[in-house]
A and B are shown apart, each in its own frame.
Chain A
Amino acid sequence: MNDFWRKGEPYIWTTAAALATTLLLAAVLIVVVLVNGLGVFWPSRVAVAELQDGTRVMGEIIRHEAIFDGEGQRVQFKIGNRDLYGLDFRWVNEADINRMSYPDDVIVLERQEHGNFYGTLANLEGRTVTSPAQGWAELRQRLRQLAGEQDRIAEMSGKLADLNGQVARLRLRERKLLYRGLTAEDARVAELQTRRETLERRFHELADQQSDLISSLRERTATFVDVSGNEREMPLVDIVRPYQPNRMSLPAKVAHYAGKLWELLSDEPRESNTEGGLFPAIFGTVMLIFVMSLFSFPLGVLAAIYLREYAKEGVIVRMVRIAVNNLAGIPSIVYGIFGLAFFVYGIGGSIDQLFFPERLPDPTFGTGGILWASLTLSLLTVPVVIVATEEALGAIPNGVREGSLALGATKLQTLTRILLPMASPGIMTGLILAMARAAGEVAPLMITGVVKLAPSLPLDGQFPFLHLDRKFMHLGFHIYDIGFQSPNVEAAKPMVFVTTLLLVLIVLVMSSVAIRLRNKMKKRYTYSTF
């Protein structure tokens, strides 16, 4: 035992404890994200609690907790029905609950607005529902019918957006001509004007048609009753998805889960981003990373090749290398503020002055947008690519280079035929790491063009298809926004956790791949002899 202390074993145990703590912390983080994120879409049962004072509470049980100052436990219910109660959540002391039941007929409605509704069906399109089961079947059938109509409305919306875009473009062309000094009477201007007016007429016709259709659809309503007997009439089109959680079998629950997951990945957000899908944010993130790679990858690789293969080793190269390593550690917010001053106000402002003077003072490129955000991020990630590429090139034994040159290949040939292919896993690693960093970076985006809700994607069917001047949505910013700036943080929490889970998954998968690649490559070159 004495020996144990003298040899310093306790210190070793301390180091082991430090490592264990670190790993546990990481595990806790992942587990918290997984537990909170994965469970969100699982349809949980809806409980009805009868309280001592005779009132009843219906909702999903969110959690149990010890009462802060007092005895016993309290239960948090998600009672929904924001339009009736104003609040989504309610705490009930367990001691006050007389009886808890899970009635089969409870219907949960996901709605376009006001969050979930918990209650039962009373009246469908004017006919009182007598048998709950039959009412449920009819409700589902009606909703299926309506889905076709809603598709038509969506199609019309697409056409309207298209027409609107065309009108806006014509108007801009008109303004451009007027800006150049042509008068309103000029033939070209007049021609544009007539074309625009025709389009506008068509736009209005279509819009009228659509609003007629919508109002006729909105007349088809159903009345639901909450647990206390309050009735609520709502148009069927406002119902996104009804379900009866207490009656669902396991496969039905799985199907529901899958449906929600698909909605998450493919749909637009609803209710100030706290419900619905994440598609625009996912799309924005992917596109941001793509445009960023387009800039940072070639530039970074070029710089690294120069540093490693062409520049003469010396004080300057050493200093440059220090500088590049240094840049990788510079706070991202500093890059952000640089992007704002240099790209947005500097270059963007000049582009507006030169090419879009007729639109001023409305900025086109002189405001945050996906192009500037991507450029800022590419500046941020160039050092990562440089360092990784340099390391990959440096790991190739000099014998390989000398061998190639000795066989008569030029430097370029050596580079393109031998060195780059050999270093490609390392370069890939750098790129993936850069992409992972870009996917998780939020601070610089916040000042260079990310928004909480972008009206349109940066890539769509309208000429010129790629709109690099548009603002965009981003998963990371989405987390910050709905977690910290949404009016109803408690109701938004599930969505934040889902977004977090998605982002963590993307980033972790990307970096795991990168690290695997790197380790493989390290082994390949460090231990092989030539």
Chain B
Amino acid sequence: MNKKILKRIQRRDRIARYVITVGGMAVIFSVLLILFLIARVTVPLFQPAVAERVARFPVADQGATVMAAGLDEYRESPFVVDAGGRVQFFAPGGQPAGGELLLAPPVGAGRILAVDSGEELTFGALWDNGSMTLDQVRFPSGFDAEGRRVQSREVARLASLPPLEQGVPKQALVRRDGEERLTQVALLADNRLLIRQLVTETDLFGDSREATHLLEATGLPGEPITAMVLDTTGKNLYAGTGRGTLLHWDLSEAGAVELLDRLPAFPDGRAITSLALIFGDISLAVGDDRGGVATWFGVRDGEGVKRLQRIHVLSGHRRAVAGMIPSRRDKSLISFDAAGQLHMDHMTSERHLLTLSSEAPLRAGSLAPRGDGLFAVDAAGTGYLWKLRNPHPEVSWRTLFGKVWYENYDQPRYVWQSSAATEDFEPKKSLTPLIFGTLKGTFYAMLFAVPLALLGAIYTSQFGNARLRGMIKPTVEVMAAIPSVVIGFLAALWFAPLLERSVPALFLGLLLVPVFLLAAMVLWQGVRNRPLGKQLDRGVEFLLLMPVLVLAVATAITLGPMVENWLFDGNFKLWLFHEAGVRYDSRNCIVIAFALGFAVIPIIYTIAEDALSNVPQSLKAASLALGASRWQTVWRVILPSASPGIFAGTMIGFGRAIGETMIVLMATGNTPIMDWSIFNGMRPLSANIAVEIPEAPVGGTLYRILFLSAVILFTMTFILNTAAELVRQRLRKKYGRF
């Protein structure tokens, strides 16, 4: 042969080998990368928060005392308010930015005694003559000619209150609720709490009338009040005392104050040093002089009355808690102690996110509105500007899989509720109800599918007529190809309404089918013993049984309404609700069992049938020759030999049922409840992904949690499939078919 051609052929062979090897391996490994890539998306969920100190600079000049601090949305303009009412701005690097503004002192006032920082950069200043002002620092922003964002600054006076006649308070809070109402709470030097409400009432004719109510808080325990906090609308007042008593008043009705709660917060009577309200104004954060931080909210007790209860314990400090700054974006809380240690925690997840420290104890601090920056000033007049990265504080293993006590719940629960209408909503992202839903649906489906598939496989491979067998197997295999969306659609829109009308018929059918089968068997025995019957072939029993089954089902459907009238007063659903207290959902587990079961039957059947027919004929022949009946042979010889294959089939079917999406999406009702009742629906992991991913912002917490549920699904099916595959390979080796 021509050497050149030979060489070319060999070269081609080498190239082909190279291409095929590299290509093949690349395909396989790139497919294997899937898990890795999905898992990577979920990693940031569990990363701790990161803080980067952008700047440290002196803020107080000429011995001026810093009363409050603030930070704008873009972390560009940290500012401080000093005792003279001056508002000084700084550049992000710490240089004074100029353009100083003033909280104008009211008539007769000179210095600020205390400042209460509210939300959206409002500052309630208490002046030395007892008058109060409420101001807001605003950063109106616009765009200049080149399209760059420019930010200006201004101070807006929201309210001004004259001094109280009772004297200059030690501490005072003020809140405005829209245009209608202004609430001031003042703690006097003699430990009395005064409440002044300025209410604007508009009557039917559109005339508005202003009224002032001056009230005194009742039920004070005679201990010094050391901390107090008012919610954003000024309707709930909380106070803590030096001996650990926690008080809660309701101010929602104008002109009235009602003591809702007075309880000792600590058994050891330690002092409450700081109070703050977590975003949403439901949970109260309590800091004490031993450094403990906990959150409380009202829980209904036995009589249905809401009582404050300690719910979440956050990370503690070594020294007394000096102050707390709640985030205005989520349920995070910053607490700082007398030693200058600063902790950031998330309430729901009880995750300790961050520890920061300043050189001297902190005087004031402020979180950026987006929660991505922190500006704090210590007693030595040094300002610290931190950039925070804290994307998923609400996620921890406990919130994902454990019971969590959510706001407004009476006890810790597993809840999945990823979104709500309001911004201050506490996200409830427990995957447990979803995993439960997956397992529940799968369990009922397997309960239905496994017996049918395995018994059917045994019959086809061992007892069925050989010619028919050649037709049955492809039929079942074609069944496997029916799209799940079709099964789901039929289950939800055809089968579920049908079932809803005839639940008793279903149960009756479960009873009647065995009875009819038994009758058919006895009858058949009679026929077989006649001379004519003897000519009938074995292996066609299933054909004979089909009309019997149809008859049984038809009888059940006909008798169903009668049974319903007789046993369940004519309405099974009502009866179920009254007698058992179980709600009947139209899309329930029975529907799922049938639909999902129908989808996995062919898978289990095919694999089990393969395993059963691959058992060597010699084993069967030997058993039969020794005098065993055909059932005894199957039960004692064939089944044990094929058991690994049957196991594998069941596992693969199980895996398929876990991951099936369209059927459960359409036929479960998608309510994430945890209830084993077969008359309820559920929400499985897979349907949850399909439902929620279109609404999940990329990179957000929900998005990553959905990826985590995909990882869980992947892992579950991976374990099941690997187990099945290992067993199957061993079986193959044993009987050496492939």
Contacts and interface: CB of A to CB of B under 8 A. Distances in A.
A331 B686 contact: yes
Contacts of A9: 521, 629, 631
A303 B32 CA distance: 13
B418 to A, nearest CB: 16
Nearest to A6: B629
B666 A13 contact: no
Given A341-B707, A479-B485, A443 B27 contact: no
Contact of B710 (A337, A411, A437): A337
A302 B463 contact: no
Given A327-B31, A480-B662, A21 B481 contact: no
Contacts of A22: 452-453, 456, 476, 601, 605
B359 interface: no
B660 A442 contact: no
A515 B477 contact: yes
Nearest to A489: B493
A270 interface: no
B373 interface: no
Contact of A4 (B481, B525, B693): B525
B455 A19 contact: yes
A493 B45 CA distance: 43
A508 interface: yes
A440 B632 contact: no
A303 B686 contact: no
A504 B489 CA distance: 12
A302 B13 contact: no
B37 A341 contact: yes
Contacts of A310: 17, 20-21, 24
A329 B717 contact: yes
A52 interface: no
Interface in A143-186: none
Given A326-B718, A479-B485, A512 B474 contact: yes
B54 interface: no
A330 to B, nearest CB: 6
Given A436-B481, A437-B481, A16 B463 contact: yes
A274 interface: no
A426 interface: no
B738 interface: yes
B698 interface: yes
Contact of A330 (B489, B517, B717): B717
B663 to A, nearest CB: 10
B550 interface: yes
B652 A333 contact: no
Contacts of A91: none
Q: Is the interface of A mostly helix, strand, loop or mixed?
A: helix
A36 B495 CA distance: 13
A270 B474 CA distance: 39
Interface stretch (B312-320, B395-403, B540-548): B540-548
B468 to A, nearest CB: 10
Interface stretch (B277-285, B672-680, B722-730): B722-730
Contact of A476 (B31, B474, B485, B714): B485
Interface in B407-457: 451-456
A192 interface: no
Contacts of A446: 690, 694
Given A330-B717, A334-B710, A341-B37, A411 B24 contact: no
Interface string B701-738: 00000110010011001101110011001000000001
Interface in A283-312: 299-300, 302-307, 309-311
Contact of A410 (B13, B488, B550, B632): B13
Interface string A393-413: 010000000000000001111
B27, B34, B630, B655, most chain A CB atoms within 10 A: B27
Contact of B486 (A10, A503, A511): A503
A411 B482 contact: no
Interface stretch (A24-32, A104-112, A133-141, A195-203): A24-32
B549 interface: yes
Given A337-B693, A443-B662, A479-B489, A8 B479 contact: no
A446 B689 CA distance: 11
B656 interface: yes
Interface in B479-519: 479-490, 492-494, 513, 517-518
Contacts of B474: 512, 515-516, 519
B28 A324 contact: yes
A480 B542 CA distance: 35
B90 interface: no
Contacts of A325: 721, 725
B25 A382 contact: no
A442 B662 contact: yes
B221 interface: no
In this complex, the interface size class of chain B, counting residues with CB under 8 Å from chain A, is: 35 or more
Contact of B13 (A299, A304, A411, A436): A411
A500 interface: yes
B499 to A, nearest CB: 13
B358 interface: no
Contact of A329 (B480, B494, B721): B721
B686 A443 contact: yes
A318 interface: yes
A441 B13 contact: no
Contacts of B27: 299-300, 302-303, 382
A14 B694 CA distance: 47
A507 interface: yes
B714 A331 contact: yes
Contacts of B492: 483-484
A302 to B, nearest CB: 5
Contact of B521 (A13, A330, A479): A13
Contacts of A21: 452, 456, 549
A441 B635 CA distance: 38
A25 to B, nearest CB: 6
B616 interface: no
B717 to A, nearest CB: 6
Contact of B481 (A324, A511, A516): A511
A17 B41 CA distance: 49
A437 to B, nearest CB: 7
A364 interface: no
A496 interface: yes
Question: Which among B472, B486, B631, B726 has the highest number of chain A CB atoms within 10 Å?
Answer: B486
Given A26-B475, A334-B714, 8 more contacts: A9-B629, A13-B520, A22-B456, A329-B721, A331-B686, A433-B481, A503-B486, A516-B474
Interface of A: 1, 4, 6-26, 29, 32-33, 36, 66, 69, 299-300, 302-307, 309-311, 318, 320, 322-327, 329-338, 340-342, 345, 379, 382-383, 391, 394, 410-413, 415, 433, 436-437, 439-443, 446-447, 476-477, 479-480, 483-484, 489, 493, 496, 500, 503-504, 507-508, 510-512, 515-516, 519
Interface of B: 9-10, 12-13, 16-17, 20-21, 23-25, 27-28, 31-32, 34, 37-38, 41, 451-456, 458-460, 463-464, 472, 474-490, 492-494, 513, 517-518, 520-521, 525, 541-543, 545-546, 549-550, 561, 570-571, 598, 601, 605, 629-632, 635, 652, 655-656, 658-662, 665-666, 686, 689-690, 693-694, 698, 706-707, 710, 713-714, 717-718, 720-722, 725-726, 729, 738
29 contacts: A1-B525, A7-B632, A8-B631, A12-B541, A13-B521, A13-B541, A20-B543, A24-B549, A306-B23, A310-B20, A310-B21, A320-B28, A323-B31, A324-B31, A326-B717, A326-B722, A334-B713, A334-B714, A335-B34, A338-B34, A342-B37, A410-B10, A413-B9, A440-B486, A442-B661, A447-B693, A480-B665, A484-B666, A503-B485
